[in-house]
Amino acid sequence: MLTLEETNEYKKRLGAEKERLLREIKKDSRPTDFGNDVDAGDEEADEAEEFSNKLATRQILQDRVNKIDAALEKVQKGTYGICEKCGKEISKEVLDLVPESECCKDCK
């Protein structure tokens, strides 16, 4: 079982990672300016591809923020570090790699 000190350390790490991800999401939400030559088909294609890539990246980052929020909620409830599938303790090895992990090594 995790000690209070260990849980607080994971909580700090989760909070710091959430802040980093939110900054990244904010940075990526700024539109890319490719100019205003509306007649250039390849320019339009580049803009569409860039927009699509940013949306995909933003969604991945937001999904991770959501998992971190869920982990922080578990800290508050006192259930952090418990596998959602089998109910066993998630090893520190797994939590060190992915502090927002929902499952133990066996259930992944």
Nearest CA to 61 among 30, 14, 25?
Answer: 25
Q: Strand, coil or helix: what is 54?
A: helix
Query: What does pTM read for this prediction?
Result: 0.81
Q: How far apart are CA 17 and CA 75, in angstroms?
A: 15
Q: What is the pLDDT along the chain (108 residues), one digit of tens a residue?
A: 899 999 999 999 999 999 999 999 988 766 656 556 555 567 667 777 777 888 888 999 999 999 999 999 999 999 999 999 999 999 999 999 999 999 999 998
Residue count of the chain, please give it: 108
Residue 100 inside a domain? The answer is no
Residue 21 inside a domain? The answer is yes
Residue 68 inside a domain? The answer is yes
Q: Strand, coil or helix: what is 29?
A: coil
With residue 30 as reference, give the H or E element that holds it.
none
Rounded to 10 deg, the angle between the 41-77 and 4-28 helix axes is 160
Residue 71 inside a domain? The answer is yes
Residue 93 inside a domain? The answer is no
- Full residue range of the structural domain in which residue 31 is found: 4-80
Residue 74 inside a domain? The answer is yes
How many domains is the chain built from? Answer: 1
